[in-house]
């Protein structure tokens, strides 16, 4: 039986909607009173695991799930040993460098050497500043990263931006975008190679659906 790791949070509803169109129904995960973390889909063809988004690639890499959905931002930060199969096109956001609006800095290279940069995405931030040959002190945070510049703890942050409203509401401005992120379909490499639980069939169905709803390039 196919085991699917589903991400809690903003990606859950569009993921379940897409899977429903493909023939797998995990809609009980969306019910307000649901406390189950593992269910069978309504057709009995697959099992769903409801996990934190950051843990989806862990479950897939360790083979507890054959396939899963997770944002590219998580993959870029964790760099798990999984097969990236498909860009699903939803969950759009970007990883950006931001500073206080009152700051004199307008690009990453303007930041002073050895300044503090707060981020949940330490590895991505480190790679960005290393590529610029700019040494910085990275301050790992797990939430409210925007407080870094507000409190003076950090000159800049590296964080996910969707609409930009949170930055604006806290007096911050974007300097640069490190990369754009969308939801990705990932699989355990060996499971995909061996076509475990007819995995290729489901990937093909999802690929056809994504192609159908994605606008053609102009």
Averages of pLDDT over runs of 10 residues in the chain (218 residues) are 96 96 95 92 93 97 97 96 96 96 93 96 97 97 92 95 93 96 97 95 95 67
Give the residue among 2, 18, 46 at the shortest CA–CA distance from 182: 18
User: Structure pTM?
Assistant: 0.92
CA distance 36 to 137: 41
CA distance 210 to 35: 30
CA distance 195 to 173: 46
Q: Check residue 218 and give its pLDDT.
A: 45
CA distance 83 to 190: 9
Helix axes 12-22, 199-213, angle to 10 degrees: 110
Q: Domains along the chain?
A: 2-91+182-213 (3.40.190.10), 93-180 (3.40.190.10)
Bridging pattern class, strands 137-140 and 46-51:
unpaired
């Amino acid at each position: 039986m196919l085991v699917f790791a589903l991400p809690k949070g903003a990606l859950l509803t569009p993921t379940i909607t897409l899977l429903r169109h493909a023939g797998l129904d995990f809609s009980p995960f969306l019910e307000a009173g649901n406390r189950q973390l593992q269910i069978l889909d309504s057709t009995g063809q697959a099992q769903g695991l409801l996990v934190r988004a950051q843990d989806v690639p862990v479950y897939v890499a360790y083979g507890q799930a054959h396939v899963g959905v997770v944002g590219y931002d998580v993959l870029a930060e964790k760099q798990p040993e999984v097969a990236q199969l498909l860009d699903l096109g939803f969950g759009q956001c970007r990883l950006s460098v931001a500073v206080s609006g009152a700051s004199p800095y307008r690009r990453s290279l303007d930041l002073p050497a050895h300044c503090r940069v707060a981020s949940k995405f330490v590895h991505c931030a480190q790679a960005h500043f290393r590529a610029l040959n700019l040494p910085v002190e990275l301050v790992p945070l797990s939430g409210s990263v925007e407080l870094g510049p507000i409190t003076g703890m950090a000159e800049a942050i590296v964080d996910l931006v969707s609409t930009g409203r949170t930055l604006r509401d806290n007096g911050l401005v974007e300097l640069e975008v490190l990369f754009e992120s969308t939801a990705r379909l990932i699989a355990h490499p060996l499971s995909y190679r061996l076509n475990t639980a007819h995995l290729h069939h489901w990937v093909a169905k999802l690929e056809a659906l994504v192609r159908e709803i994605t606008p053609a390039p102009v």
